[in-house]
């Protein structure tokens, strides 16, 4: 799949997209209830399903459980960050562990934040909102730079 770095003004008018990945359906339900008023939500119960959904749903942010059977969240993140089409997707790991070593590993893989289980609604919403605002600002800056570059190219 060829990456398209062109940004359309439509990107700025749509709701942000979040992919929630957790092998426990109850965690997906809780996060969906917290976030669905503000964002488009898709969900996956496995790492393999998440990777496939990234191609079609094109999320801005992944809320990614670390411990899942089959493919861990760390492996999902590693694969996302290794592909040009998905490397810009922000990843927030969701974990029941408060292990500093695990957090360091997550950040080294390219995660932008962690949310701990059991979920605190205010903290989860704030961390998601912050990352979505950063994504929107980054997209806007890229769009403005593209427009500026077009104006400088002689016809």
Query: Which whole number is the average pLDDT over 29-33?
Result: 97
Query: Which whole number is the average pLDDT over 129-144?
Result: 88
Q: What pLDDT sits at residue 3?
A: 43
11 pLDDT higher than 70: no
121: number of Cβ within 10 Å: 12
Distance CA 90, CA 76 (A): 12
Q: What pLDDT sits at residue 141?
A: 86
Q: What pLDDT sits at residue 8?
A: 55
Structural domains of the chain, ranges and CATH numbers in brackets:
11-152 (3.40.50.2300)
Nearest 5 degrees, angle CA 134-CA 110-CA 121? Answer: 55
């Amino acid at each position: 799949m060829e990456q398209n770095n062109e940004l359309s003004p439509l990107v700025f008018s749509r709701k942000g997209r979040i992919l929630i990945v957790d092998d426990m359906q109850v965690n997906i339900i809780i996060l969906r209830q917290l976030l669905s008023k503000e964002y488009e939500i898709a969900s996956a119960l496995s790492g393999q399903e998440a990777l496939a959904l990234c191609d079609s749903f094109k999320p801005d942010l992944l809320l990614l459980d670390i411990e899942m059977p089959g493919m861990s969240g760390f492996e999902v993140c590693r694969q996302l960050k290794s592909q040009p089409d998905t490397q810009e997707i922000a990843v927030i790991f969701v974990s029941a562990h408060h292990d500093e070593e695990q957090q360091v590993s997550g950040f080294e893989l390219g995660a932008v934040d962690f949310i701990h289980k059991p979920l605190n609604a205010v903290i989860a919403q704030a961390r998601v909102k912050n990352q979505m605002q950063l994504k929107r600002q980054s997209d806007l800056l890229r769009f403005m730079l593209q427009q500026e570059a077009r104006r400088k190219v002689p016809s």
